[in-house]
Amino acid sequence: MSTLPIPASSGFAAFQLQASLQAAIDALGFHSPTPVQEQVIPQALAGKDLLVSSQTGSGKTAAFLIPLLQRLLSSRNSAMRLPSGPSILVLSPTRELAQQVADDAIDLLKGSRGVRVATVVGGLPYGKQLQALRGADLVVATPGRLLDLYRTRKIRLDQVVHVVVDEADRMLDLGFAEDLQAIALASAQREQTLMFSATFAPRIMQLAEKLTKDPIRIAITALNQAKPDISELIHLADHESHRIKLLEHYLSDSSVDQAVIFARTQVECEQLGEKLTAQGLSVTYLHGALPQSVRTRRLNAFREKRVQWLVATDVAARGLDVPSISHVINLGLPMKPEDYVHRIGRTARAGRSGVAVTMVEVSDMRKLRAIERVIERRLENSVIPGLEPKVRPLVRNAGKPSTRPPSRSRPQSFGQSDREFPRTERPAIAKPRSEGWQDRSSVAKPRSEGWQDRSSVAKPRSEGWQDRSSVAKPRSEGWQDRSSVAKPRSEGWQDRSSVAKPRRLESAETRSQPSRGSGFAGFASKPGSRSDASPRAGQSRWAGKRVNSRA
């Protein structure tokens, strides 16, 4: 379970839990609550709506499971009931996190009888999940599969009393905002809502207003606070082959107990996993495109330490709780800077120490600056003897990094980055003048002798020049103005523009009889005409089709 030991305090006994629940906590080796558990458990036992911001690995899973299971056990002891639907609903963004929460709940209920836990996630057959839902008191689900079962009336949500939204920020990243609102509407009769998120971003607050009622905000640890148990190393890589050599250095390190290697894409994840397996290493790979049964089988093998190396995408950045992970290696930086904190949080769990290694190329500089702005600290460079980068190492300044947004210009080289040397503003210093210097910008230039201003003097004309602009051009001999002379007409010409045209008188029979060869159907031919005697009488063609005109 995701917990970190803290200095000794009154312990979990101060919460006056059920005997079976307290025994399970002691059996798991948890004697003192973590800071998030100390603040969340009393408020949750009191039935308050909570909005909690806590860093990964702080024990928030037990922070909401312990009080909700305590209230569930108390209600079952006071009045026995036949549940027609779950009373506790936990929503998780990923299948792996949902399975982890369900496993933690089962561990806490080992000494309790009559309480059933079900997991509803996508990628698994419906039959097994429907069987597990029968009589389940606590359901851990992903929003998509839960809505599928609800809309097909396979699960009822009108008996839900407590709703937990775990990793709310990740829910919004995956596009579950509308699904969460639909689930909240289906469980409108609930009495308590607990939301856990990494930050109190505005979008999280907007979601909290729709799901909670006067929530109490609890902020334990911010993303910018470093974990002292994690040693963060930055290795500069010149190119792809240099990055692989850096990885091979850690693959041969005997101090690695178990490690997670985060790849940039699913294709890179598969290729690297198959390549390391061909080299004889104990490796498996994991990404979101694999079937759920395969993902579960590989995660179980990693948890049981049957596999030493796990190559994964960001699907394993949250919900993977394996205390034996000693190293986390980032082959590439994540798209979102917040995911860097969740990646390195896979190590240094349960009071242990860990190492987080990140390999950075020139194209990753913008992402690295974004991560440093989020965590509000500089990540120091580290060099492995014999694998030094050829590019000049970054010289970082001490103190809080700038909050200026990253530039949209193309990535710069390590030697030309604006993060190497701080830019200082120099005051404007006047240049010294030589002796005898005078400002002659406003002094008129002297004119030469005999100079005259001829801008207004007319230019002289040549001899014999005349102004002929108003003189008419001479006409040729025999020229006449014929613009008003009428054109001669030919013999026999008559002006018929005003004479009415004669019209031909037609009888009614002539008007009703169609012209011969008209191609339109529906006109009858005159009796005794040629169409009656022809073998195709009464037929005509129109638009390339033969139709019966007598129809």
**Whole-Å CA distances, 535 to 515, 520, 538, 539:** 20, 19, 9, 10
pLDDT reading at 21 higher than 90: yes
Which of 23-27, 417-421, 479-483 has maximum average pLDDT? 23-27
Residue of 397, 256, 372 whose CA lies nearest to 324: 256
Task: Say whether pLDDT at 30 is over 90.
Answer: no
Q: How many whole angstroms separate alpha carbon 192 and alpha carbon 216?
A: 12
What is the C-alpha separation between 106 and 112, in angstroms, rounded?
10
Which residue, among 333, 282, 289, has the nearest Cα to 315 in the 3D structure?
Answer: 289
Q: Which residues does 83 contact at the CB level (< 8 Å), separation at least 6?
A: 135, 136, 137, 159
pLDDT exceeding 70 applies to what percent of the chain? Answer: 74
* Spatial separation of the C-alpha atoms in residues 166 and 61, rounded to whole Å: 9
Cβ atoms of 295 and 321 within 8 Å: the answer is: no
Q: Write out the CATH class of domain 12-219.
A: alpha beta
pLDDT for 49 = 96
| Per-residue model confidence as pLDDT tens digits over 89-130 | 999 999 989 999 999 999 999 989 889 999 999 888 899 999
> Is there a contact between 9 and 38 (Cβ–Cβ < 8 Å)?
yes
Long-range (24+ apart) CB contacts under 8 A made by 180-188 are 180/91, 180/143, 180/207, 180/211, 181/210, 181/211, 182/147, 183/89, 183/91, 183/143, 183/146, 183/147, 183/150, 183/157, 184/210, 184/211, 186/150, 186/157, 186/158, 187/89, 187/157, 187/158, 187/160, 187/163
Token duo for residue 39? 């603040």
In the prediction, which pLDDT does 111 show?
87
The whole-angstrom separation of Cα 2 and Cα 511 is 101
- Cα–Cα dist 4/465, whole Å: 110
On the question of pLDDT at 268 being above 90, the answer is yes
- pLDDT, residue 105, reads 96
Assess whether pLDDT exceeds 60 at residue 34.
yes
Angle between helices 60-78 and 19-27 (to 10 degrees): 150
**Helix, strand, or coil here: 164?**
strand
Mean pLDDT over 204-231 rounds to: 84
In this prediction, residue 477 carries a pLDDT of: 75
DSSP 78-100: HS----SS-SEEEE-SSHHHHHH
User: Which pLDDT belongs to residue 77?
Assistant: 64
Instruction: Judge contact between 21 and 194, C-beta under 8 A.
Output: no
Indicate the domain borders of the chain.
Answer: 12-219, 230-406
Residue 41 has pLDDT above 90, yes or no: yes
Q: Is there a shared CATH topology between the 12-219 domain and the 230-406 domain?
A: yes
Separation between Cα atoms, residue 217 and residue 209, nearest integer Å: 12
Q: What is the mean pLDDT of residues 192-196?
A: 95
Report pTM: 0.63
83, 138 Cβ separation under 8 angstroms: no
Q: Where are the alpha helices (DSSP H) in 354-497?
A: 365-375
pLDDT in the model for residue 413: 41
Segment 528-533 shows an average pLDDT of 46
Q: What is the pLDDT of residues 535-550, one digit of tens each?
A: 444 444 444 444 454 4
Which pLDDT belongs to residue 517? 47
Give CA–CA dist 222/216, Å, rounded.
Answer: 17
Q: Extract the tokens encoding 126.
A: 């419906």
Question: CA 235, 238, 243: angle at the middle one, nearest 5?
Answer: 60
Average pLDDT across the chain, whole number: 80
pLDDT by residue (tens digit) across 284-309? 999 989 998 899 899 999 999 999 99
pLDDT tier, 198 (very low <50, low <70, confident <90, very high otherwise): confident
Which of 70-74, 156-160, 271-275, 411-415 has the lowest average pLDDT? 411-415
Mean pLDDT of 190-209: 89
Q: Which residues pair with 360 in a beta bridge?
A: 236
Q: Which residues contact 170 (CB under 8 A, 6 or more apart)?
A: 93, 94, 318
Nearest to 358 by CA among 327, 385, 325, 389: 327
- For domain 230-406, the CATH superfamily is P-loop containing nucleotide triphosphate hydrolases (3.40.50.300)
Would you say 92 and 167 are in contact if contact means Cβ atoms under 8 Å apart? Answer: yes
Contact 230, 341 (CB under 8 A): no
Beta-bridge partner residues of 261: 311, 329
Separation CA 538–CA 551 (nearest Å):
9
Q: What pLDDT, on the 0 to 100 scale, is given for residue 411?
A: 43
Q: Which of 139, 144, 215 is nearest to 178 (CA)?
A: 144
Pick from 203, 201, 202, 153: nearest CA to 180: 203
Q: What is the distance between the alpha carbons of residues 406 and 420, in angstroms, rounded to a whole number?
A: 15
pLDDT digits (tens, 9 = 90+) for 376-427: 889 989 999 999 998 665 544 444 444 555 444 444 443 444 444 344 455 5
Residues 79, 152: contact at Cβ < 8 Å? no
Looking up tokens 């037990």, which residue turns up? Answer: 62
Per-residue model confidence as pLDDT tens digits over 137-192: 999 999 999 999 999 999 999 999 999 999 998 898 888 999 999 999 999 999 99
Three-state SS at 339: helix
Pairwise CA distance, residues 260 & 330, whole Å: 8
In angstroms, the CA 180 to CA 197 distance is: 14
Q: How confident is the model at residue 348 (pLDDT cuts 50, 70, 90)?
A: confident
User: 303 vs 31, 224, 256, 284, CA distance in Å?
Assistant: 23, 29, 15, 12
Question: Is the separation of the CB atoms in 34 and 56 below 8 Å?
Answer: no
Cα distances (angstroms) measured from residue 454 to each of 119, 429, 451, 458: 101, 46, 9, 8
pLDDT grade for 199, boundaries at 50, 70 and 90: confident
CA distances from 362 to 235, 245, 330, 417, 478 (A): 12, 17, 15, 10, 92
